[in-house]
Amino acid sequence: ASLVQVMMHLGEMATATQSLPDETLQLLGDELKYKVEVVSPEDEDRELLESFSIEFGEDSGSEQDLRPRPPVVTVMGHVDHGKTKLLDSIRNSNVVSGEAGGITQHIGAYQVGTVVDEEDRKITFIDTPGHEAFTAMRARGAQATDIAVLVVAADDGVKPQTAEAIDHAKAAEVPIVVALNKIDVEGADPQRVRAQLTEYGVVAEALGGDVQVVEISALRGENLDGLLEAVVLTSDAALDLRANPDMDAQGLAIEAYLDRGRGSMATVLVQRGLLRVGDSIVCGDAYGRVRAMLDEHGKNVQEAEPSRPVQVLGLTNVPSAGDSFLVVKDDRVARQIAQQREARERFAQQAKSSRRVTLDNWQRT
């Protein structure tokens, strides 16, 4: 019998040239006593890494090997509510780091220090605002963010993109801290905004909920400390952020570009382990040895611990935002993984553009 007939027998109408959904393939396999495995690109990649005895995304070792790590924050909110201004003000006002003049380099993410309960604490900000980057990363199975800072202009209130940002944060199960911005503007009405937010399930502590809502002026740099403190407190109350700082480093590419003189410049966020100059790494289908690392002050650093963003020099080409990176045993392994990923990608592209295998010609082979 032809496959089309088998399909009809199964109650599925099909033409000889159409492509089939995964479930139908599974059904067809069962009927013909074939084992059909539908493999997602993520599974395929996991298998590739496993063939090198690498597990991505897990802290190795036991409970005792885990150490606290700073929260990673993404700033979201409606157009013009002050996301960029806020990221700039925090960057410029960060005196705790001891750097005169604040942070000068835009590397896609930066880390700031703050003092909470007489303790030095750190927070990592992803420097590209907006939920697009956030969702794009999540769509690729990568979650960089621990906490979402939702910027809402106190004179404008909750707007469509505010609501969208809330949805995204909830879907990702990421706690929200509200930065009630533009408190300096005439017509600012923080009470009204707090009430509005409750309609979206974001209930301020003042209204009996557990969301920290902090009134700020990004323009004047007012109460930024209060906002940073709220982020730390939310992290402590809602999250138990820990990572193993002693394993081979793993994490994500945040942004990357090609510099004329220095080659591939990739900002990566270390999520676990310790990244060191000299490590062999793979990042997407880019690979290489870490030649140098720069922090957000443009300073050379020798190593980077969990939640630390650093710019990495030495990759063969430019990875994409959201690509995972990992340290491997040596350059040879790095190259092999990168090449296999690239080959797979090329194959997938070809399969898309070339004539598909149809039920008709499959039957004849």
Q: Which stretch binds ligand GTP (CB under 6 A): 15-23, 58-66, 182-190, 299-307?
A: 182-190
Q: 77 or 284: whose CB is closer to Mg ion?
A: 77
| Tokens representing residue 295 in the block | 């922090």
Q: CB 294 → Mg ion: shortest distance, Å?
A: 24
Q: 74 or 271: whose CB is closer to ligand GTP?
A: 74
Using CB under 5 A, which of 26, 84, 316, 317 touches Mg ion? 84
Using CB under 6 A, which of 27, 69, 71, 85 touches ligand GTP? 85
Q: Which residues contact 105 (CB under 8 A, 6 or more apart)?
A: 294, 295, 296, 297, 298, 311
Residue numbers in the known binding site are: 77-84, 127-131, 181-184
Cα Rg of the chain, angstroms: 24
- Residue 79 binds which entry of ligand GTP, Mg ion, none, with Cβ cut-offs from 5 to 8 Å by kind? ligand GTP
Using CB under 6 A, which of 219, 238, 247, 333 touches ligand GTP? 219
Determine if 320 is a binding residue for Mg ion (CB under 5 A).
Answer: no
Q: 127 or 295: whose CB is closer to ligand GTP?
A: 127
Determine if 227 is a binding residue for ligand GTP (CB under 6 A).
Answer: no
Q: Which stretch binds ligand GTP (CB under 6 A): 163-171, 180-188, 207-215, 315-323?
A: 180-188
Q: CB 92 → ligand GTP: shortest distance, Å?
A: 13
Residue numbers in the known binding site for GTP are: 77-84, 127-131, 181-184
Residue ranges binding ligand GTP (CB under 6 A): 77, 79-85, 129, 181-182, 184-185, 217-219
